[in-house]
Amino acid sequence: MISTEDPDVLTALRTMQAKALSMRNEPITARKKRLRTLKRWILDNQSELERAAAADLGKPAIEFISIEIFNVLEEIRTILKNLNHWASPVYVPPSFAVLGTYSEIRYEPKGLCLVIAPWNFPFLLAVGPMASALGAGNAVVVKPSELAPTMSACIAKMASACFSPDEVRVVEGGLEVSKQLLTFPFDHIFFTGSPAVGSIVMSEAARNLTPVTLELGGKSPCVVTSSARVDEAALRIAVSKFTNAGQTCIAPDYVLAEDKVYDRLVDRIVFHARKLFSNPSTYTRIVSDRHFTRLVDLLQACRQEGVVAVLDGPAEARDRLFSPVVLKNVSVDSAIMRDEIFGPILPVIRFHDLAEAESIVNHQPRALALYIFSDARRETESLMASTSSGAVCINDCAMHFFHSGLPFGGVGRSGFGRAHGHAGFVTFSNEKSVIRQRHGLTGASLLYPPHTARKQRLLTKFMALFYR
């Protein structure tokens, strides 16, 4: 177990702090060189990464490549393409109060950053934020998930091959390791995981007044109105829900379907789920026995409430295979509506009009994403205006995550702070305000003592002229 009270560990972290100070004076080319080295390693070791994903979660290679490797490489490409522009000072025109001055915003590295990654997309959610932090010029400590040990070892191998240990260090271990790391005064902490653990991270970070980014989860709703293209909606919902066995923070947690399309939508979701996710050899497993048991108990509670499972495939505890489940006749007060499901169980709830759908969404904590399937602009605008979420995706699910130009993050209990692209660069940067005053007489002279009646009259006239 690592301990920040261990002299060797403390020395290593302090060495990284010192390195972070020197990295702030490096040219942008040095940051790009690190990112290019990282990119080459990923491409050269893709097969090893695929095997690690399969060993930990049974992920099929195409799913791992298309979601995790692709998104990391796209993030690196975006940073490399735009870094010179992002890192340049931004001119800010003067306000009336400081006429004659020159002002700009400069982006400086925060210093030593900690990235704590989850198990569901263990490569993407560790290396993506790490790339953003490196692009902003920081040194990085990465704590991968202990529930994906093979991938964790791969990430450690990658870090040692691509970077010096004072630039990037991977620390492996369980919850106690994370708790110990959180006692160290990092300059920024980026956490992806559950709201429950996120609150612990925030509490520990507060002891050192460390800024945090929390990428959490929640019950992301999916609203399907009568104007939607039902079969297309059903296909896209099924894919986004049951990929990775539903263990995705931005998967649709529940579906709200309007009366007119409810039965047809349920039938088509079942059809597509059976067609696309019936082969156990290409279906991701549940991460642990504890999570498997949690899903079994949740499904049993639903059955006791009279909920109907219109699709209920095999669930095998021996290898943690939990096939897609689709539920109908679900009440908004059902046990399954209390917490994020984070598994391949999809409740479909009936609504009568848009006001009812909006009320159901607003009854839940604000979500990481809202999904709307509708061809009526009035409906989509009404739902967006009356609800709050980290993102909105219209006529698809989760696609906003793949757009490196869109800030990604939550609101309220689904998290705060933003990742990806320019937003990720800003997250790991200190926005430093710089103002250069001219020589001689300036407007600030009015503020100097003595505070005469004449100065007061001039200031009063100025305010009346410009602000009335």
Catalytic residues: 215, 249
DSSP 120-173: SSTTHHHHHHHHHHHHTT-EEEEE--TTSHHHHHHHHHHHHHHS-TTTEEE---
Rg of the Cα atoms in the chain: 26
Note the Cα 130 to chain centre separation in Å: 13
Task: Return the number of other C-beta atoms located less than 10 Å from residue 159's C-beta.
Answer: 23
> Residue 192: enclosing H or E segment and its boundaries?
strand 188-192
Alpha-helical regions (H) of 371-440: 377-386, 421-427
Rounded CA gap, 314 and 277, in Å?
12
Q: Which single residue is written with the structure tokens 């297309």?
A: 232
The gap from C-alpha 172 to its chain's centroid, in whole angstroms, comes to 21
Sheet hosting strand 429-436, strand order edge to edge: 90-92, 102-109, 429-436
Q: Which residue has the tokens 């004449």?
A: 454
Strand partners, 419: 408
Angle, in degrees to the nearest 10, between helices 124-135 and 70-86? 10
Residue 74 one-letter amino acid: E
Angle at 54 between CA 53 and CA 58, to 5 degrees: 115
Rounded to a whole number, what is the distance in angstroms from the first to the last CA of the chain?
Answer: 65
Question: Which DSSP symbol is given to 26?
Answer: S
Place of tokens 């497993």: 285
